Structure formats: C-alpha cells, structure tokens
Amino acid sequence: MAKGIMIIVEQRNLQIRKVSLELLSQGRKIADQTGEPLVAVVLGQGIDELASTVTANGADKVILIDDAKLAEYTTGAYTSVLNKLIRKEEPTAVLLGNTAVGKDLAPRLAQRLGVGLASDCTGMEYDANSFLSFKRPIYAGKAFAYLTSNVRPIMATIRPNTFPLAAPDAARQAEIVKEAAEIDSADLVAILKEVAIAASKRPELTEANIIVSGGRGMKGPENYGILEDLADVVGAAVGASRAAVDSGWKEHKFQVGQTGKTVAPTLYIACGISGAIQHLAGMGSSKFIVAVNKDPEANIFNVADYGIVGDLFEVVPLLTEEFKKLVNE
Amino acid sequence: MATRQVYWNVEGHHWLYLFFIVALAIFGYGVYKRVKLWKLGQPENRWKDVWPGIKDVIVYTFAHKRILKDGYPGLMHAGIFFGFLFLAFATAIITLQADFALQIFHGWLYLFIKVTANLFGLAALIGIIVAAYRRYIQRPDRLDNKPDDAITLALLFAILLTGFIIQGARIAVLPDPWAGYAFVGQWMAIPLKAMLNEAQLLSLHVFLWWLHLALAMAFIAYFPYSKLFHILLGPLNQFFRNRGPIGIPEPIDFEDESIETFGKSQLREFSWKALFNTDVCLRCGRCQDNCPAYLSGKHLSPKRIIQDMRVLMEETGVALQEQNKVLAQAAGQEAAAASESEEAEEWTGRALIGEVIPEEDLWACTTCRSCEQQCPVFVEHVDKTIDMRRNLVLMETRFPAEAQLAFRNMENNGNPWGIGWTTRADYLTGLGVKTYEEDPNAEYLYWPGCSGAFDARNQKVSAALVKLLQAAGVHFAILGNDEKCCGDSARKLGNEYLFFSLATENIEVMKGYGVKKIITQCPHCYNFLKNEYPQLGGDFEVIHHTVFLLDLVKSGKLKLSNADRKTVTYHDSCYLGRYNEIYEQPRELLKAVGLNLKEMAHTGEKSFCCGAGGGRMWLEEHEGLRINEMRTDEAIAVKPDYVGTACPFCLTMINDGIAAREAGEQVKALDIAEILEKAL
C-alpha cells in the first residue's frame, strides 16, 4: 500500500532550506518511479505561504503543522509532533537533511519509532527489494557503504549538496492538509525564547556550493571586503583559516579546518592561506580548489587544482571583475 | 668549663610537662583527624623504595634542592628552615641534659649551640620578616592569604623574638664569660641593661620565659591544624613520590567486566595519596607561576585545583560524620561504631567535576608538567586531570567539540587529520626509505609519527633526518602503512579506549616484525613508545632522534661541518625535557655545528610549553592569550636566527607564532635535524 515518501522540510524564518528542496527534487524522481506519493511536512508558525513553494518543488501532499510552539526548532516539540504524525501517516520512508536540525532530530525520532537510521548519506536510489538504497561514505570517503532496510519507515538523513535541484513547476497542484500540533508536555524540556543571529545574506559554510576563504595573507579584518565582493558575485559563502580567526579578523563560526567546520563545496577559493594540514583537514575534499598565494612554495598549491601565484589584493579584484562579466552574460 | 644553668631564674618549671602533654594531645587529635580524611581515598602502595625515599628527603628537604630553584623565596625559606633546625637541635640537647640527665650541655657543644642558635635564629628572624614583607607588601600573584598564614608567621616571629630577649636579659643580669658567642643575646643585653634595673630584668626574664614556653606549646598544638604541618608532610611526600617514568596515567583494563565506571568523577575514587597531596600543598604557588594555561589567562590554576580538592575532602569528611550521627541515632551505638568503616552512601554534596573544578579547567591543561616539576614537595597534578578527562570522555561523552573530529579520524585512519591510512608510507617511500616488509633485517625502526608522515612542514624534518641517518650508514626501515598514531593525544584527552586500541595494534605490528630498537622524531611518540607501551606489553628500546644523532656525531659516524655562525635558541619540548629529562643532548648538537646558543627566559626544567601538549593541538584556545605566541615572543626576544625544536607539535606552534608576529623574515623555526642537515 502506497503510504508515501515523507520529506521533513526544514525552514528558518519562513525560508525553506536548500537541502529540503534537493530532497523534494530527488524524492519526486523516486515517487514517479514507484508511484508512491511524495509527502512534504512543514512545521513552524505562519507557514501557509510555504505550501506553494513545496508544491512547486514536487510534493503531492503537503502537511502543515502551524503552532506558536513550533516557531523555532526545539528538539522536544518537533520530536513529539513528528512521532505522532509518522505513526498516523505510516509513510514508507522518512527523509531529512543532514543539517544541525536533521542530525539532532532524526536519531531521536528513529529511536521513538523503533527503526534504523542511515545518517549523512550522499546518495539515494530506488531499490527493487527494499524500496530505497542509501549511499554513505565511510573511512573518510575511501569507501562507500550501501544501506537498505526492510523495516518501515526507512529513515535517512541526506547530506546537503547531494542532489541537483529540479526546476520548480508553479502549475503543480497538491493536497494541502493542516494538522494540529500535539505536544506531550513531557517533551517540552526546553522552550526557545529568542534567537539572536548575526545577519548574513550569504549561504552557510557547510551548505555553500562555492566558498571564498581568506587566511593570514588578508593582513586585517578590513580587507575581507574584497573577498565578500567576490563571494557576492558568485553566490559564495566566506570562510577563514584558523590564523585569521585567531587574529580576531573573523568569528570562529567562519573557521574552516580541523577545529572549525568541515566543508566540501564544489569550488573552494583559498586566498592567502598557506595550506597547513589543519586547514586541509577541513576542506581537502572540495571538488575543485583554487589557491591564490604570493608564496610559490605554499603547501596549498600541493592540493590546489588551479594555483595563482600573486598578490591576492591584485588577483582577487580581477577575479571579481571577470566573474561579474560572466554572470552578467 | 663553658656551660650555663638550665632553668635559671625559673621556678616551677615542672608545669612544662603538663602543658606539653596537653599540647601533644591536641597535636595527636589533629593528626588523627587528617589521617581519617586521607583514608577516605582508595588504597595505593607508595611504600616501594625506602632508601631512594630517604635520599630524596635529604636532597629535597635538607639540601633544599627544588626550594632554592626559586632564588628569593628559596633563600627566605632556607633561613627559616635552618634557623628552626638548629634551634630544634639546641632544644633537643637541653632536653637530654635536663630530663635525661645526660651531661652534654657544656664545653664545645655548648658553644656550638650558642653560636648556631644565634646565627641561624637570626637568619630565621630575617626570613620571617622577609616572608611577611613578601606576603603582605609585595603581594605576588601566586600567594593567596588566609588567616593561618598570618598566625603562623606571627607565632614563629614571637617565638624567636622572646627567645632572644630572654637570652639578653640573662646575659644582662648574669655576667657570662661566653656571652660573645651568643652575639644576638649580647646585643639585646645592651639596651635592656640601660633601661631596666636588675629586679626588673629578672621579672622580665621569668615572664618572657613562660610566654616563650606557652608559644612553643601553641606551636605544637597548632601544628596539624595549620600550614606548619608541611614541615612533616612535605618530606613525607618527597619520600612517597613517584620514582618511575613520570606522568604515566594508570592503565584501564578494558577486559575487566566488573569495572562499572571509567576515570574519576568522585573525590573518593582517588587514592589516599591524591588526598594526602592536598594537605601537603601549602599554596606556595610555584605551580601556578609556571603554568602556561594560567599565565596565558585561562581560568585554570594547578594550585586552585589541589586546594579546591582539599576543601571537598573536608566537606566529605563532615558529611560522613553527619551520616554516621544519623545512623547512630537510628540504630543505637553499636551500629554506629560498625558503620564508621562502612562505605558511604551516594555522595550528595558538591560534584567534583563541574562544581568544584570547572570542566574548562580540565581541558585547559597542556599536560606540560611544569607544575609538578616546580613543586618542592612533589604534589602530582596532571594524572588527576587525565583521570577526570577520562570520566568526561568515557562515561559522560562531554568534551570539546573539536576533539570529536580528531577522535574519529584516529579511529578511522589512525591519524588525527583523517588522511587516508593507505597514504601514510607515500612520502617516506618516495625518499627511498624501505618498509620493514621490504627490509625485515633493518636494525632500527624509524617511527616518523603522524606529523612526520603526513604534515608537509614536518615531512621536511623527516627528509632531513632520513638524509642524516643515511649519511651515517644507519640500517633502518619504517612500518609504512602499518604504523598508526601512537595514541598520545587520545590518551591525554581522556579517550583511553582509543589509545588502548591504537597502542595494542602498534605493539602487535612491531612484535610481528621483530622490532627491537626504534628511532622517533616526535617526543610524544617517544614518551609513549618508551614509557607507556610497556603497560600494554610493548617493550622496545626507544631513542629520540636528538639523542641518536648526538651518538652518531660523538662516535664519528656522522661528520658535520660547522654550519653558518648563526644564533639559535632551543625550545625544550615538555615531553622530551620534563617527562624524559633530555635537556642537554639537543643543545650539544646545536653547539656541535658551531651555532651560538642563547637561552630564552624560560628554559630547561622551567621551559614554557608551546601549547599543543595534552591533546590541546586539536582543540581551540578560546580564552586569554595564545600560549604559542607567548612562547614565540620569548624566542624572538633573544634575537635568534633560528628557533631550534625537537618536536613536530612545537615546530607547528612556533611556526604559527612566528607567522602571527610576522617575524618570518628575521627568524626561522627549524627542527634540529634540519639544522644538522645544513651542516652535512
């Protein structure tokens, strides 16, 4: 019996996160292959307007759970609501993004439901025997494990940037269902009162497709402007090496490396970064690495696909100019 | 014959014995209370070697070896110590004469006592004045003041002063042909004689005699309740000190299924020696004064940790007493007597980790062991930190987020960066080095460690060392991809299980190849392979590259020309220096190639950590100054051309420090192997 592929859509400030749209895109494909409906679940407050976006991106059915207690993500409330919903809907598969929220929510939910969880997957395909098969890197990406499960629902979290985005179809129609939030008081262990965020329009480091990163060669916080210009032209996130963070030029949340964030964008542009092993540990698995450094001996050139030996204060503005031309074409 | 009458001008001195018995009873009760507190801890055998213990007491108490390393407070302490030592000797001789009828208080011995008691008594008096000046006027950061400090100083000062005035009054009344030997007493006599008549002098003498006696009895009674106790506990702790390889944590037997908790989170899980330590510590603050974490502005102070544990020990003692009272009321007197020795119920007081010692303090430690090295009474700090980290990691899964990645990388790929394990051999085999598999008869195993194998900067050190070894005709090979992280960072970060699995695998591999002798280029690997692997059955002869290279130079196998006449300063690695007492060999090597060696402000035993030890290499440093930059500043201050290192972590940290100071044009951080290679 077709119960559906359920995507738990993640939204923040009424913006649907990219990974959720990626999941909808891939989910649509599998739904078409199997005839299972694609069910999108959105939690939050004042989320009605999101239904159209979700529909356009491939959902057959949209379940909206609108409640003040769900305005911001809290582990207890979201677990409580989703546990009940999944038990009621009995979907064949439940999929989440492998984001901070997904990583927090999915294991807890899996435990409540008494099912397994394939976490941090980088692939998902239809499998004739068990419905879905997930690809998961092991041994630091040296090998892949393929996971399936015969228990229902099959649960998985998928790494951002795994699936391409399909073009949204505004003409799509979907069944919109509103459910009430039933939260067990025992699950309300924490209540979020306020979220203080540093405003940034750029994508988040771990989700970004392109990252422009600056190191000690930036010489000071005031010079990050040239990286930000470049980043804005190509839609990139801005990162920093430990040296730059230690010097107080950038906050720790921008740090890429062993003790900062581990990233794997399609393109990583390293400016004035020497390429210490601690930094490489955090970005070495980027698909393409471009290095700009005035020291031809810098270790970053050993891992870079393209190296530019030169003063970043000359090179980066030139790059920005050229990209601008390309983007405008 | 030179002598004097004992109990001159004093009647009823027999009361002395009653006072003495009372004082002794109070003393005994105080000792009993403290011993009871120490026994809250677990059993541990520290009665291992008696003669080395006695030797240590002679060296560290009577010769003041560590105390004098800090010149000014050291001399101050020596003054007080030797003053009271000679005064105690004088008192003992007089006791033998007065109470045991041994006629010895005369002749040369009498004169010897007169001179020494005056000379060293004066030294003690000066020492106490200096101590009070230092404590209350200079107020160095490392001293915190409690009422006990003031009471003790005042008591000692009053005992000495009344003693001298008594002597002066006697000399003023009684013409003494030997007065010249008691020179302080004689000086005292001059103003006394001028101000008072004979009757007044006699009554002053007898009044002060009784006062002096009362003070002395107060000293005895107060002893175990105060810092005076250190006079006894300090030497005892020197006797009980760990004489094996130092700073080695206790292994955990993971095969033992009866173990319910790992690491330590409760005071009573520590051994009696750990609790004893807290009473031995008398808050001199030398540890804190040399702690890189404290000096760089972290909250951690080794002194505070020990003192906070002491407070918790007392709280535990009180709580147990209360518990016993309740039990006594509930079950009558007999049951109470029995319950004294029984295990306490679950501890409901302040939690050791979190409430008594903040978790951040536990993670701030670089395990550099400078605290222990500077402690004159051998208090042991670092193993407690590791024990508590173990609890946080193995039981609570609470540790800095950055450590998670390092742990997982070590688990998956046997190195902290998570680089594919199949590429470990690539760099060195690229230099033409053979693996044991290819060359099973190699005499030495060369152990490059993770840094030497993977890190581009430290690969250059590997290349230099390989060149030197080849030039000297050493027959060596590597394990290649069979080598794994030695487990240093894992163990010091409290992940004993990870250490255990890495170490046992390494040991099995090395045994499989029949490895006997190992050359390491990392002091952390060196310390672990040499001192910690024997705990798991791995006994190898391990040699650090600086020691090995010096042997090659001395035996003429390695011929070096004089390098450029440049200036070098050597940064001691904690794990080479303090952990393994290798201070001289690296320096000799630098001198052997004709470099001009300059020492930094902190050097040798007092060397300042680079900040990467104890797994801190893999953690962020959020609070205060950066330790590596402080150390780099010290190096730059002596204006060297090179900073010589002998440790990959130190090299990385100093390199980062030089980059942060933008001093790369003036000074280069180089491993000693790299410096030597230039002189090939």
Instruction: Kindly determine whether residue B413 and residue A140, on different chains, have CB atoms separated by under 8 Å.
Output: yes
A60 contacts: CB under 8 Å, gap ≥ 6: A4, A31, A37, A38, A39, A174, A175
**Can A5-187 and A210-328 be said to share one CATH topology?**
yes
The pair of structure tokens assigned to A63 is 């379940």
- What's the rounded Cα separation, in Å, for the pair B437 and B443? 13
Residue of chain A with shortest Cα separation from B621: A246
B660 in contact with A at a CB cutoff of 8 Å? yes
* Of residues B669, B613, B629, the one with CA closest to residue B296: B629
CA distance readout (Å), B98 to B15, B94, B95, B348: 14, 6, 5, 55
Q: What is the pLDDT of residue B345?
A: 60
Q: What is the pLDDT of residue B446?
A: 98
Q: What is the pLDDT of residue B490?
A: 97
How distant is the Cα of A124 from the closest Cα of chain B, in angstroms?
A: 24
B572 in contact with A at a CB cutoff of 8 Å? no
Q: B403-554: which CATH number, 3.20.20, 1.10.260, 2.30.29, 3.40.50?
A: 3.40.50
Which one-letter amino acid corresponds to residue A312? L
- What's the rounded Cα separation, in Å, for the pair B574 and B611? 10
B417 in contact with A at a CB cutoff of 8 Å? yes
pLDDT average, residue stretch B560-577: 90
A219 neighbourhood in chain B, CB within 8 Å: none
Q: Are A86 and A94 in contact (CB under 8 A)?
A: yes
How distant is the Cα of B505 from the closest Cα of chain A, in angstroms?
A: 18
Q: What is the pLDDT of residue B211?
A: 96
* H-run or E-run covering B368: none
Residue of chain A with shortest Cα separation from B616: A259
Instruction: Kindly determine whether residue B418 and residue A280, on different chains, have CB atoms separated by under 8 Å.
Output: no
A247 neighbourhood in chain B, CB within 8 Å: 660
The domain locations on chain A are 5-187, 210-328
Task: List, in sequence order, every residue forming a beta bridge with B596; answer none if it has no partner.
Answer: B567
pLDDT at A204 over 90: no
B405 in contact with A at a CB cutoff of 8 Å? yes
| Percentage of the residues of chain B whose pLDDT score is greater than 70 | 98
Instruction: Kindly determine whether residue B457 and residue A299, on different chains, have CB atoms separated by under 8 Å.
Output: yes
How distant is the Cα of A277 from the closest Cα of chain B, in angstroms?
A: 6
B1 in contact with A at a CB cutoff of 8 Å? no
Q: Which of B412, B416, B457 comes nearest A139 by C-beta?
A: B412
Q: What is the pLDDT of residue B182?
A: 87
How distant is the Cα of A178 from the closest Cα of chain B, in angstroms?
A: 39
CA distance readout (Å), B235 to B53, B57, B59, B274, B548: 9, 5, 10, 16, 37
A246 neighbourhood in chain B, CB within 8 Å: 621, 626, 660
pLDDT in tens, B362-411: 999 999 999 999 999 999 999 999 999 999 999 999 999 999 999 999 99
pLDDT average, residue stretch B304-308: 96
Residue of chain B with shortest Cα separation from A273: B659
**Three-state SS letters, chain A:** CCCCEEEEECEECCEECHHHHHHHHHHHHHHHHHCCCEEEEEEECCCCCHHHHHHHCCCCEEEEEECHHHCCCCHHHHHHHHHHHHHHHCCCEEEEECCHHHHHHHHHHHHHHCCCCEEEECEEEEECCCEEEEEEEECCCCEEEEECCCCCCEEEEECCCCCCCCCCCCCCCCEEEEECCCCCHHHCCCCCCCCCCCCCCCCCCCCCCEEEEECHHHCCHHHHHHHHHHHHHHCCEEEECHHHHHCCCCCHHHEECCCCECCCCCEEEEECCCCCHHHHHHHCCCCEEEEEECCCCCCHHHHCCEEEECCHHHHHHHHHHHHHHHHHC
Instruction: Kindly determine whether residue A247 and residue B656, on different chains, have CB atoms separated by under 8 Å.
Output: no
B658 in contact with A at a CB cutoff of 8 Å? no
pLDDT in tens, B327-367: 878 776 555 455 554 555 678 889 999 999 999 999 999 99
Residue B577: which pLDDT band, with cuts at 50, 70 and 90? very high
B52 contacts: CB under 8 Å, gap ≥ 6: B243
B459 in contact with A at a CB cutoff of 8 Å? no
How distant is the Cα of A223 from the closest Cα of chain B, in angstroms?
A: 17
Considering the domain delimited by A210-328, tell me its CATH architecture.
3-Layer(aba) Sandwich (3.40)
- What's the rounded Cα separation, in Å, for the pair B387 and B532? 16
B489 in contact with A at a CB cutoff of 8 Å? no
- Which of A245, A259, A285 is most worth mutating to test chain B (most B CB atoms within 10 A of its CB)? A259
pLDDT average, residue stretch B529-542: 96
B457 in contact with A at a CB cutoff of 8 Å? yes
pLDDT average, residue stretch A24-49: 92
Instruction: Kindly determine whether residue B409 and residue A140, on different chains, have CB atoms separated by under 8 Å.
Output: yes
pLDDT average, residue stretch A270-286: 91
Which one-letter amino acid corresponds to residue B245? P
Q: Which of B417, B456, B620 comes nearest A299 by C-beta?
A: B456
B413 in contact with A at a CB cutoff of 8 Å? yes
pLDDT in tens, B480-493: 999 999 999 999 99
Q: Which of residues 245-264 of B touch A (CB under 8 A)?
A: none
- Which of A256, A277, A279, A295 is most worth mutating to test chain B (most B CB atoms within 10 A of its CB)? A277
What torsion do the CA atoms of B339, B341, B345, B349 make, to the nearest 10 degrees? Answer: 120
Chain A residues with CB under 8 Å of a chain B CB are 138-140, 142, 216, 243, 246-247, 252, 258-259, 262, 274-278, 280-281, 284, 299, 302
Q: What is the pLDDT of residue A1?
A: 44
Q: Which of B455, B621, B622 comes nearest A277 by C-beta?
A: B455
- What's the rounded Cα separation, in Å, for the pair B652 and B455? 10
Q: Tell me the residue length of chain A.
A: 329
- What's the rounded Cα separation, in Å, for the pair B389 and B399? 8
**B567-678, what's its fold?**
Rossmann fold (3.40.50)
Considering the domain delimited by B267-396, tell me its CATH architecture.
Orthogonal Bundle (1.10)
How distant is the Cα of A182 from the closest Cα of chain B, in angstroms?
A: 32
Residue of chain B with shortest Cα separation from A142: B420
Q: What is the pLDDT of residue B244?
A: 84
How distant is the Cα of A247 from the closest Cα of chain B, in angstroms?
A: 8
Q: Which of A140, A278, A280 comes nearest B412 by C-beta?
A: A140
Residue B206: which pLDDT band, with cuts at 50, 70 and 90? very high
Instruction: Kindly determine whether residue A258 and residue B454, on different chains, have CB atoms separated by under 8 Å.
Output: no
B409 in contact with A at a CB cutoff of 8 Å? yes
Q: What is the pLDDT of residue B117?
A: 93
B402 in contact with A at a CB cutoff of 8 Å? yes
pLDDT at A201 over 80: no
**Can B50-240 and B267-396 be said to share one CATH topology?**
no
B664 in contact with A at a CB cutoff of 8 Å? no
**3-state class (DSSP) for residue B99:** helix
Residue B539: which pLDDT band, with cuts at 50, 70 and 90? very high
pLDDT in tens, B599-623: 999 999 999 999 999 999 999 998 9
Task: List, in sequence order, every residue forming a beta bridge with A131; answer none if it has no partner.
Answer: A127
Q: What is the pLDDT of residue B328?
A: 79
Residue A206: which pLDDT band, with cuts at 50, 70 and 90? confident
Q: Which of residues 599-618 of B touch A (CB under 8 A)?
A: 618
Please, what is the average pLDDT of chain A? 90
Kindly report the CA angle at B93 between B92 and B94, in degrees rounded to 5? 90
Least confident of A168-177, A198-207, B408-417: A198-207
**3-state class (DSSP) for residue B344:** coil
Write the DSSP string, B519-581. EES-HHHHHIIIIIGGGGT---EEEEHHHHHHHHHHTTSS--------EEEE---TTTTTTT-
A5-187: CATH class? alpha beta
Q: What is the pLDDT of residue B330?
A: 78
Instruction: Kindly determine whether residue B457 and residue A276, on different chains, have CB atoms separated by under 8 Å.
Output: yes
B619 neighbourhood in chain A, CB within 8 Å: 259
Assembly ipTM = 0.77
Q: What is the pLDDT of residue A140?
A: 62
B564 contacts: CB under 8 Å, gap ≥ 6: B678
Q: B50-240: which CATH number, 1.20.120, 3.30.70, 1.20.950, 1.10.3470?
A: 1.20.950
pLDDT at A279 over 60: yes
pLDDT at B153 over 60: yes
Please, what is the average pLDDT of chain B? 93
Instruction: Kindly determine whether residue B405 and residue A262, on different chains, have CB atoms separated by under 8 Å.
Output: yes
B620 in contact with A at a CB cutoff of 8 Å? yes
Q: What is the pLDDT of residue B564?
A: 72
Residue of chain B with shortest Cα separation from A251: B622
Q: What is the pLDDT of residue B343?
A: 53
pLDDT in tens, A71-126: 888 898 999 999 999 999 999 999 999 988 999 999 999 999 999 999 999 999 99
Q: Are B645 and B673 in contact (CB under 8 A)?
A: no
B418 in contact with A at a CB cutoff of 8 Å? yes
Q: What is the pLDDT of residue A200?
A: 67
**3-state class (DSSP) for residue B3:** strand
How distant is the Cα of A291 from the closest Cα of chain B, in angstroms?
A: 16
- What's the rounded Cα separation, in Å, for the pair B198 and B215? 25
Q: Are B564 and B668 in contact (CB under 8 A)?
A: no
**3-state class (DSSP) for residue B159:** helix
